[in-house]
């Protein structure tokens, strides 16, 4: 069964029965509509006369082992709800594949604004810096969570984050033969593990895909009210997580989630240096060394993820009709990642 985005693939009768038994306060009837976008775990709005919900499921078809773990998303959001990190309330997790064909969970639908362009063109100029301040505060709050007290001490392996991530994504990249090979990614697979900075062995909770379009902002206020898409979260290095978010400052024109050649200060956003300084203040860090390595790592990792989307698209089980648009940027992103590595000394 391939996921073409048709809601006919969801058995609404089976879903109604399951939600009636497992979601407090649920009252049918329900209707289901798939959200556009999203390349990994298909996401749907579930509407009822009283309440709107969001259903997030594992995609059907043959998947890379360990990927698309909706169970982990449910667990971390449930834990973070009491930790000062804004997340949607999660109602219930279904691991019984007989209900909808793959595991899924139900969470609240948070009403607010999602901005796809980090330049925030929809936001009045005088409010843009406040939006960035809120984004920076939230990712710092996540990194400041005591994950042991939050019950997430086994959510990942503390330490050696870069080694493990580089090994994981190199393996997935090389395993997906249908998606082909890129010279820049091949070179980075060799260069990155040999050039990991010696910056201590910090471990915190990390989101793994923290960017403006994975956040919901208040309908009228300049603040984040929910962080979405926790599939890549784990215990990891906070600087890897923060610099993935920071990557928007260096992503070239034409690529998604980037500022291109626009000077952020000219559109009333903080400069890269100012944004780094805010994060350092919030996390009691004096500075961040080796920015170029971290950006190269994150661009390479994102390119490896998109490479996986390309493979799923070829196999016919990409979760969004927009997959081809994302994949079209793969070569440019891979080359940009190698350029960042060259800034860090790669030859």
φ, ψ dihedrals at 23, nearest 5°: -110, 110
Pairing of strands 215-217, 204-206: unpaired
Our CA angle for 175, 179, 183, nearest 5°, is 85
Tokens of 199: 């910056």
Q: Whole-prediction pTM value?
A: 0.87
- The Cα–Cα gap between 227 and 239 comes to 18
Is 56 strand, coil or helix? Answer: strand
Contacts of 347 (CB under 8 A, 6+ apart): none
Please report, for the chain, the start and end positions of each structural domain, with discontinuous segments joined by +. Answer: 7-108, 125-343
- The Cα–Cα gap between 271 and 126 comes to 15
- Taking the chain, what is the end-to-end CA distance rounded to the nearest angstrom? 45
- The Cα–Cα gap between 253 and 19 comes to 44
We find that the CATH architecture of domain 125-343 is Alpha-Beta Complex (3.90)
Contact predicate 279/242, CB 8 Å: yes
CATH class of 7-108: alpha beta
Contact predicate 185/303, CB 8 Å: yes
φ, ψ dihedrals at 167, nearest 5°: -65, -45
Tokens of 45: 């709005």
**10 Å Cβ neighbour count for 33?**
11
Contact predicate 255/247, CB 8 Å: no
Is 319 strand, coil or helix? Answer: coil
Tell me the pLDDT of the chain (347 aa) as tens digits. Answer: 233 344 446 899 999 999 999 999 999 999 999 987 654 788 999 999 999 999 999 887 666 555 568 999 999 999 999 999 999 999 999 999 999 999 999 999 999 999 999 999 999 999 999 999 999 999 999 999 999 999 999 999 888 899 989 999 999 999 888 888 999 999 999 999 999 998 766 899 999 999 999 999 999 999 999 999 998 899 999 999 999 999 999 998 777 678 988 999 999 999 999 999 999 999 999 999 999 999 999 999 999 989 988 888 888 776 666 677 788 889 999 999 999 999 999 99
Tokens of 108: 């609240």
DSSP characters over 270-314: --HHHHHHHHHHHTT-S----HHHHHHHHHHHHHHHHHHHHHHHH
**Tokens 């203040």 found at:** 281
- The Cα–Cα gap between 271 and 129 comes to 10
């Amino acid at each position: 069964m391939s996921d073409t985005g048709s809601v006919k693939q969801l058995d609404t009768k089976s879903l109604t029965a399951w939600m009636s038994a497992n979601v407090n306060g649920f009252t049918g009837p329900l209707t289901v509509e798939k959200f556009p976008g999203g390349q990994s775990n298909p996401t749907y709005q579930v509407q009822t006369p009283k309440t709107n919900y969001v259903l997030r499921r594992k995609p059907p078809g043959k998947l890379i082992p360990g990927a698309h773990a909706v169970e982990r998303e449910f667990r971390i959001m449930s834990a973070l709800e009491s930790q000062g990190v804004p997340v949607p309330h999660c109602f219930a997790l279904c691991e019984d594949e007989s209900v909808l064909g793959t595991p899924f969970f139900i969470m609240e639908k948070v009403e607010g604004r999602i901005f796809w362009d980090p330049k925030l063109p929809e936001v009045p100029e005088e409010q843009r810096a406040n939006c960035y301040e809120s984004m920076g505060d939230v990712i710092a709050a996540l990194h400041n969570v005591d994950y042991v007290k939050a019950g997430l001490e086994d959510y990942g392996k503390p330490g050696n984050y870069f080694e493990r991530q580089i090994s994981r994504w190199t393996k997935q990249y090389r395993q997906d033969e249908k998606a082909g090979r890129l010279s820049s990614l091949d070179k980075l697979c060799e260069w990155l593990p040999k050039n990991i900075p010696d910056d201590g062995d910090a471990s915190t909770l990390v989101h793994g895909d923290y960017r403006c379009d994975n956040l919901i902002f208040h309908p009228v206020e300049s603040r984040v009210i929910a962080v979405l898409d926790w599939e890549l979260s784990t215990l990891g290095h906070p600087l890897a997580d923060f610099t993935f978010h920071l990557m928007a400052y260096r992503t070239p024109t034409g690529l998604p989630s980037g500022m291109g050649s626009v000077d952020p200060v000219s559109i009333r956003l903080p400069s890269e240096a100012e944004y780094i300084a805010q994060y350092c203040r919030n996390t009691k860090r004096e500075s961040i060394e080796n920015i170029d390595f971290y950006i190269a790592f994150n661009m390479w990792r994102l390119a490896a993820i998109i490479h996986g989307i390309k493979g799923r698209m070829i196999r016919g089980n990409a979760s969004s009709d927009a997959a081809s648009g994302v994949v079209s940027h793969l070569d440019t992103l891979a080359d940009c990642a190698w350029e960042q590595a060259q800034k860090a000394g790669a030859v």
